[in-house]
Chain A
Amino acid sequence: MTTMTHYINWLMIAIALVAGVPIAREAIGKLRLKQFSIALLVVFASIGAIIIGEAWEAAVVTVLFALGGWLESRTLARTRSALKELVDMMPRTARVRRGADIVEVSAYDVRQGDIVIIRPGDMVPVDGKVVAGSASLDTSSVTGESMPTEAMAGTAVTSGSVTLGGYLEVEAERVGTDTTFSRLIYMIAEAGDQKPKMQRTLDKFAQWYTPSVITASVLVYAITRDAHLALTFLVIACPGALVAAAPVAIIAGLGSAARQGVLIKGGERLERIARIDTVAFDKTGTLTMGKPQVVAVEGFAGKSADEVLAAAAGAELRSEHHLATAVLARAQADGVEPLPALDWEIRAGQGAIAHLEGGALTAVGNLALMRSLGIDVPQDQLHMVAHREAQGETVTLVALAGEAIGLIGIADQPRPEAAAAIAALSKAGIKNVVMLTGDNERAARHVAGLLGIEPSSVRSGLMPDDKVATIRSLQQSGARVAMVGDGINDAPALAMADVSVSMGASATRAAMEVADIALMSDNLMRIPQAFAHSRRMVQVIKQNVVLAVVVVAVLLAGVLVGRVHLASGMFIHEASILLVTLNGLRLLRR
């Protein structure tokens, strides 16, 4: 039996050594920077525990402490890989016109005024103005708007936009390190650095707890000349329950949240999450589906919706334009056959035209297209267009055989549960819900109205740095702000916010990885749930911390007055660890 205990003792020492060496390294490193850490106390107490034959205690404390550190480093790695991904996306080279030639140069060697050639699929390497050509641009990495925009001569383009098709010649205005995309990367790095500065509560606590415990046990030895008593004091003072207080509750809490598709990353962020009183939402792709859909088909002069859709689908059949995709999807859903056409023509920035089998012409597009085809759009029809546009829709006209026959309204619809989620947030104690968007004011207000967001809480037409400024000004007025977003363009605002939340399937990886809370599904109802759950976790951790501190205080007093001895002290000590563990496991239940 004694040999058995002996082996177990050596095993415990081995475990304590494996888990303890990195802790010792951390403690020494921090000591060099004149910081006392819990790590230092863990090291001293573990050595003390081994000396007085309580290697078990050393093993438990070191393993729990290492577990906490591991959780933290995993979170850090995620944030970093997001930034690296953005950097890897940056265009390295640019094709510029130098004299009669087109040469490929480093993206940093493009000069102001250079004409940069952009081919389909290229990322725009500079901020500038289009001087020739036309193309659809996916600007989602910068503006977050999922609807591609049309670029033609005179349009301003931003670095980081990607051409979906077409060809552009852009006169460079801001180049190299001064481009929007390059500044975006610096902004994310800088904003991300503001978080680790908030020292963890435990570390602050350690600043006075660790030195006072060490001093106290030295004093105990100096006064009593009883090394065993001094070591007992040191070991009992080691905040075993305190070390376990957070990690167990965090793992249990994060685990149960994860089962519901809510990834709450990193324990140290919990307190911030629990204190949030303002939630800012990005509109497109977060509150809305992020995908344009046909929301209205209206026929002019007695024409039916199906006739309008059939003509439009016929014209759009060969187009890869995002509005065409929406029209074709609606035609298919409604079982409408596109009018059979023979050949197609895409007019960039205007729409699409097709020649039908009977020789007639069908066209889908904006007013400019209708005018260029000599099709008259009377005043009352223009009113119908204006009416739909006032609802925040993009409206295209449909013409058949030289006559306008109807219109199609396309919009990015709010998610079905969005209004309920916003109502639930205020029940969960969130005082203010704000909507931020790069979209225009009309569309923004319309969506806000549908969702029950105050018009005064809508900020529209924002670029990434405007979003950051909005978050900052909310914070300066005393609000603790959580930001919910999905795009790379939201990344700086997400990093600036006290807490960042990224939305599920539609989130870009960059947004997901910098986020404090990542939703795996697109269900907005998970957001109020995540806040409520975090508050419960913080409550449990606080209970645990109080329990641990009280137990340690009572035990130490007992040791000093000679009422508590090592065996009974250790028993209560371990019991308190068990208690905080069980309390933490309560979070596994929903």
Chain B
Amino acid sequence: MSDIRREMIMFSNLNCPTCAAKLETAVRALPGVASAKVVFGAASLDVEYDAGKVAYDRIADVASRMGLSVSARVPGTPSGN
């Protein structure tokens, strides 16, 4: 059984477009991540993942290793629904 979740993770310091592209690629590479899109204008990452396969902490960890800090999380409705 899969437990698909969607979240918008907002960062307080996502300022360079290059880091945004890197973050997107790195998060997409995680197993269990169905889709990841950086919304640069909103300084946030719109991500859908299977909570059974990858924990939110793994995603946050990828971001924090790139020096990004999370300022807010907004759960959303998965696009499949």
On A, residues with C-beta under 8 Å from B are: 26, 29-30, 32-33, 73, 76, 79-80, 83-84, 87-88, 90, 108, 176-178, 182-183, 185-186, 188-190, 192-193, 195-196
Contact = CB atoms under 8 A, between A and B. Distances in A.
Q: Which of B42, B43, B46, B76 has the most CB of A within 10 A?
A: B42
A66 B5 CA distance: 40
A291 to B, nearest CB: 32
Contact of A87 (B15, B17, B40, B72): B72
Given A73-B15, A196-B40, 19 more contacts: A26-B18, A33-B21, A80-B41, A80-B43, A83-B42, A83-B44, A84-B10, A84-B72, A90-B74, A177-B6, A182-B74, A182-B75, A183-B77, A189-B44, A190-B46, A192-B41, A193-B39, A193-B40, A193-B42
Contacts of B41: 76, 79-80, 189, 192-193, 195-196
Contacts, number: 64
Nearest to B78: A177
B8 interface: yes
Contact of A176 (B43, B72, B75): B75
A30 B19 CA distance: 11
18 contacts: A29-B17, A29-B18, A33-B21, A76-B41, A80-B42, A83-B42, A83-B44, A87-B74, A177-B75, A182-B76, A186-B8, A189-B39, A189-B46, A190-B46, A192-B39, A192-B41, A192-B42, A196-B41
A108 B15 CA distance: 30
Nearest to A186: B76
B16 interface: yes
B64 interface: no
B72 A88 contact: yes
Contacts of A176: 75
B28 to A, nearest CB: 15
Contacts of A33: 18, 21
Contacts of A84: 10, 71-72
Q: Which of B18, B40, B41 has the most CB of A within 10 A?
A: B41
A95 B16 CA distance: 41
Ranked nearest first, the 7 interchain pairs of A and B with the lowest CB-CB distance are A29-B18, A192-B41, A189-B42, A193-B39, A177-B77, A177-B75, A80-B43
Interface string B42-81: 1110100000000000000000000000011011110000
A185 B74 contact: yes
Q: Which of A32, A182, A186, A196 has the most CB of B within 10 A?
A: A186
Given A79-B41, A193-B41, A196-B41, A178 B77 contact: yes
Contacts of A76: 41
Q: How large is the interface on B (under 10, 10 to 19, 20 to 34, 35 or more residues)?
A: 20 to 34
A178 B18 CA distance: 32
Contacts of B77: 177-178, 182-183
A183 B39 CA distance: 16
Contact of B18 (A32, A87, A188, A195): A32
Contacts of B42: 79-80, 83, 188-189, 192-193
B77 to A, nearest CB: 5
Nearest to A29: B18
Contacts of A183: 77
Contact of B76 (A30, A177, A192, A193): A177
A29 B76 CA distance: 31
B10 A87 contact: yes
Nearest to A32: B18
Contacts of B18: 26, 29-30, 32-33
A33 B22 CA distance: 10
Nearest to A188: B42
Contacts of B10: 83-84, 87
Contacts of A193: 39-42
B8 A189 contact: yes
Contacts of A189: 8, 39, 41-42, 44, 46
A247 B21 CA distance: 27
A76 to B, nearest CB: 7
Contacts of B15: 73
Contacts of B43: 80
A111 to B, nearest CB: 15
Contacts of A79: 41-42
Nearest to B14: A80
A186 B9 CA distance: 11
A83 B72 CA distance: 11
Nearest to A86: B74
A30 B17 CA distance: 9
A193 B6 CA distance: 18
B75 A29 contact: no
Contacts of A108: 75
A182 B39 CA distance: 17
Contacts of A73: 15
B16 to A, nearest CB: 7
B71 to A, nearest CB: 7
A84 B39 CA distance: 13
A91 to B, nearest CB: 12
A90 B10 CA distance: 14
Contacts of A30: 18
A80 B42 CA distance: 5
B68 to A, nearest CB: 14
Contacts of A29: 16-18
A79 B42 CA distance: 7
Interface string B1-31: 0000010101000011110010000000000
A84 B40 CA distance: 13
Contacts of A26: 16, 18
B78 to A, nearest CB: 9
A84 B72 CA distance: 8
B7 to A, nearest CB: 9
